[in-house]
């Protein structure tokens, strides 16, 4: 703002300096005064050039810093809120907030320096004009606010239409994201045409809202040229009349022409400031909608791992003070009757995947249903008595569709860099992923593309299983860890997993006979309740419902 004020005020002083050179140098015939004021003009030019460069550099810096800091805030909010964000704000709106709104928000800081200079230079020019001619000074003082107020008549309806267009565009982005995510399924059921028609309808809605915005935007753009132009005509005409009447000097007449040309800049800057502020206001509201989303829990997941030394102490209500808790059980979920003994490998089978998914969410303390967590006890202590940080450090849930990120394979498998290459390779061997490593040119230093798109579904699944194993969680919950691999690979993983996790509590949610046969114990979930418990082969003989889910008619 300092650079902007110095830059624009220096330009405002140019006409006054020229007037002095004309009146005191040329008209008076004083060569020394002419050279003195010419030197002053040269100094002003140097100041304008220097401050103009610095003002522009700082304006762009402020613009980018504000935009990217807003993007950082949105990114942290997405990480901290987890599944609460897409439940509250459509995915398309979040994407549009990062892609468009953050840059529009930052654009406000691009114009603040010039607007500050416009305000100060307007005051300076008004004072100079009032000293030369009271009438012309009043025209400037009253005319400029009137012009800005007139532009406000166009800005308000423009703001409403821009908001509508932004919402329609967010819906379009969300629809496109959902379509791409489900493209394989759509092709399988022949639904591509239906979604294409929906996308076309929404695209037309965005186009129509854009047309409605364009009319008012064009009016505002035209007003930014027309109104200042009319203002310059009025000031020039009045100055010429006053010069003819002898009320102002020849130098002052030239200065009035210069002010008329100069005032176009602060006036246009003021109208641009109104336009940028309008867009930034809309963008800020959209950003605040994202930042206002609260996570499902009061304490947020830490952004770094918690090792055994850093773990917080257990809650005040310890195992010895819990009357109905069994500390020999790692996890207990009372509504379903599921129990996980310490150090056991337990498999969970359910005919309805949504029931097992809901149970896993309760065990891992995921989701907004706080009441559901009251049925879970960790080491005999109610799950809600533990801080979320402690729950995350003790209970790891490897979901059905985990994510891979860009980076080296080593950083992908060991994000915190706490394991040796030998330990990484051992875990990779448990997940039967040696062939993946062999296929990569640089081994563990090979680059993994975003979302692991260069890898097959089975390879991605085995890498995420390796990452989960390396976390060395006290309680590990694996949801369908082998659904994308062949039977031979699955058999190897099942046998190696049992040996690798021996002595540590593990729950595997799967209906695969190969995984079930390797488990110490199998729990059968029916209608949300564990109705049978035992070894896999024993349940096959004794429970027809269990057999129907696991075998799926293969015995016929």
Per residue in 436-463, pLDDT (tens digit) is 888 888 888 988 887 777 788 888 899 9
Q: What percent of the chain has pLDDT over 90?
A: 45
pLDDT at 9 over 80: yes
Q: Which of 245-249, 315-319, 326-330, 367-371 has the lowest mean pLDDT?
A: 315-319
Q: What angle do CA 365, 368, 369 make, to 5 degrees?
A: 80
User: Checking phi first, is residue 352 left (phi over 0); if not, alpha (psi -120 to 50) or beta?
Assistant: beta
Instruction: Name the residue among 497, 516, 479 with its Cα closest to residue 401.
Output: 479
What does each C-alpha distance from 100 to 92, 93, 96, 119, 283 come to in angstroms?
Answer: 12, 10, 5, 29, 8
Contact 294, 84 (CB under 8 A): yes
At residue 187, the pLDDT reads 53
CB 531 within 8 A of CB 355: no
Q: Can you give the pLDDT at residue 182?
A: 55
Per the rule left: phi > 0, alpha: psi between -120 and 50, beta: everything else, 82 is left
Confidence label for 70 from pLDDT (cuts 50, 70 and 90) = very high
Average pLDDT, the chain: 83
pLDDT at 304 over 80: no
pLDDT at 240 over 60: yes
Find the range with the poorest average confidence among 95-104, 331-340, 470-479.
95-104
Instruction: Over range 210-223, report the average pLDDT.
Output: 76
Instruction: Confirm if 260 and 146 have CB atoms less than 8 A apart.
Output: no
Contact 521, 342 (CB under 8 A): no
Measured between alpha carbons, how far is 206 from 23 in angstroms, rounded to an integer?
60
* Unique residue bearing structure tokens 């206002």: 292
- For residue 156, the model assigns a pLDDT of 65
Q: What tokens appear for 134 in the block?
A: 């009271």
Task: Name which of 329-338, 365-374, 465-474 the model is least confident about.
Answer: 365-374
Task: Work out the average pLDDT over 364-380.
Answer: 85
Q: What are phi and psi of 456, to 5 degrees?
A: -75, 170
Of the candidates 418, 424, 420, the residue with the CA atom closest to the CA atom of residue 310 = 418
Q: Is the pLDDT of residue 159 over 70?
A: no
Pairing status of strand 475-479 against strand 505-509: parallel
CA distance 213 to 504: 61
d(CA 500, CA 493): 10
Q: What CATH architecture is 324-551?
A: 3-Layer(aba) Sandwich (3.40)
> Taking Cα atoms as reference points, which of 106, 110, 87 lies closest to residue 97?
106
- Which of these, 489, 346, 487, 502, lies nearest to 428 by C-alpha position? 489
Q: Judge whether residue 553 has pLDDT over 80.
A: no
Which tens digit of pLDDT belongs to each residue from 482-496?
988 899 999 999 999
Instruction: List the domain boundaries for the chain.
Output: 2-291, 324-551
How confident is the model at residue 76, as a pLDDT?
92
CA–CA dist 362, 344 (Å, integer): 19
pLDDT of 317 higher than 50: no
Q: What DSSP element (H or E) covers 395? A: strand 395-398
pLDDT at 306 over 60: no
Q: Quick check: 397 pLDDT over 90?
A: yes
CA-CA distance, 267 to 273, in Å (whole number)?
10
Q: Which residues pair with 479 in a beta bridge?
A: 509
Greater confidence (5 vs 242) lies with: 5
Cα-based distances in Å from 312 to 309, 368, 391: 9, 24, 10
Confidence band of 148 (pLDDT split at 50, 70, 90): low
**Helix H or strand E segment including 142:** helix 134-181
Work out the pLDDT band at 197, boundaries 50, 70, 90.
confident
**pLDDT value of position 180:** 59
Tokens found for residue 551: 């075998």
User: Would the pLDDT of 318 be above 90?
Assistant: no
Q: Do 324-551 and 2-291 fall under one CATH topology?
A: no
What 8-state DSSP symbol labels residue 339?
E
pLDDT above 60 for 90 = yes
* Exposure of 146 in the CB half-sphere (CA atoms within 13 A): 10
Bridge partners (DSSP) of residue 503 are none
Question: How far is the CA of 329 from the CAs of 344, 416, 498, in angstroms?
Answer: 10, 30, 19
More reliable by pLDDT, 37 or 556: 37
- Per the CATH hierarchy, to which homologous superfamily does domain 2-291 belong? ABC transporter type 1, transmembrane domain (1.20.1560.10)
Whether residue 120 is predicted with pLDDT greater than 60 in this model: the reply is: yes
Cα separation, 189 vs 144, in Å, equals: 63
Model pTM score: 0.59
Task: Tell me what pLDDT residue 292 has.
Answer: 92
Give the integer Cα–Cα distance in Å for 176 and 481: 29
pLDDT at 362: 92
What is the C-alpha to C-alpha distance for residues 290 and 90, in angstroms, rounded to an integer? 10
- Average the pLDDT over 328-351 and give the result: 93
Q: Which of 20-34, 144-158, 175-189, 333-347 has the highest mean pLDDT?
A: 333-347
């Amino acid at each position: 703002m300092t650079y902007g004020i110095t830059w624009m005020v220096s330009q405002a002083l140019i006409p006054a300096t020229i007037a002095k050179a004309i009146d005191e140098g040329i008209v008076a015939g004083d060569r020394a005064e002419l050279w003195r004021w010419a030197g002053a003009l040269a100094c002003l030019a140097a100041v304008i050039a220097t401050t103009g460069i610095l003002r522009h550099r700082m304006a762009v810096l402020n613009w980018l810093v504000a935009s990217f800091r807003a993007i950082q805030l949105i990114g942290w909010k997405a990480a901290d809120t987890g599944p609460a964000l897409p439940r509250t704000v459509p995915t398309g709106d979040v994407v549009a907030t990062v892609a468009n709104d953050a840059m529009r928000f930052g654009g406000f800081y691009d114009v603040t320096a010039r607007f500050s200079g416009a305000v100060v230079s307007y005051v300076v020019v008004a004072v100079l004009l009032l000293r030369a001619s009271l009438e012309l000074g009043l025209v400037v003082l009253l005319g400029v606010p009137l012009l800005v107020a007139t532009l406000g008549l166009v800005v308000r309806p423009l703001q409403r239409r821009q908001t509508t267009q932004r919402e329609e565009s967010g819906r379009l982005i969300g629809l496109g994201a959902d379509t791409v995510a489900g493209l394989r399924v759509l092709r399988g059921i022949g639904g591509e045409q239906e979604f294409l028609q929906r996308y076309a309808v929404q695209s037309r809605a965005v186009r129509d809202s854009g047309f409605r915005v364009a009319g008012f935007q064009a009016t505002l753009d035209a007003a930014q040229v027309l109104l200042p132009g009319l203002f310059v005509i009025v000031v020039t005409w009045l100055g010429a009349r006053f010069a003819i009447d002898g009320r102002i000097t020849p130098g002052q007449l030239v200065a009035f022409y210069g002010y008329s040309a100069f005032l176009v800049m602060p006036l246009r800057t003021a109208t641009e400031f109104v336009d940028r502020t309008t867009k930034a206001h809309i963008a800020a509201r959209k950003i605040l909608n994202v930042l206002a989303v609260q996570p499902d829990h009061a304490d947020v997941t830490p952004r770094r791992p918690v090792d055994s030394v850093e773990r917080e102490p257990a809650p005040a209500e310890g195992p010895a003070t819990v009357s109905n808790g069994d500390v020999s059980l790692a996890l207990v979920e009372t509504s379903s009757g599921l129990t996980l003994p310490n150090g056991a490998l337990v498999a969970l089978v359910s005919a309805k995947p949504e029931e097992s998914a809901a149970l896993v969410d309760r065990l891992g303390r995921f989701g907004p249903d706080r009441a559901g967590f009251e049925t879970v006890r960790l080491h005999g202590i109610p799950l809600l008595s533990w801080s979320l940080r402690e729950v995350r450090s003790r209970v790891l849930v490897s979901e059905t569709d985990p994510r891979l990120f860009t980076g080296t394979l080593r950083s992908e498998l060991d994000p915190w860099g706490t394991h040796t290459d030998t330990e990484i390779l051992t875990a990779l061997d448990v997940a039967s992923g040696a062939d993946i490593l062999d296929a990569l040119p640089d081994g563990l230093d090979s680059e993994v593309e975003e979302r692991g798109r260069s890898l097959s579904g089975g390879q991605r699944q085995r890498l995420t299983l390796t990452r989960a194993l390396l976390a060395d969680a006290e309680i590990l919950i694996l949801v369908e860890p082998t659904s994308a691999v062949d039977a031979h690979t699955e058999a190897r993983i099942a046998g190696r997993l049992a040996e690798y996790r021996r002595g540590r509590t593990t729950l595997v949610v799967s209906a695969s006979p190969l995984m079930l046969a390797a488990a110490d114990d199998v729990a059968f979930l029916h209608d949300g309740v564990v109705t049978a418990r035992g070894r896999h082969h024993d349940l096959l003989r004794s429970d027809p419902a269990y057999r129907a889910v696991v075998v799926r008619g293969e015995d016929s």
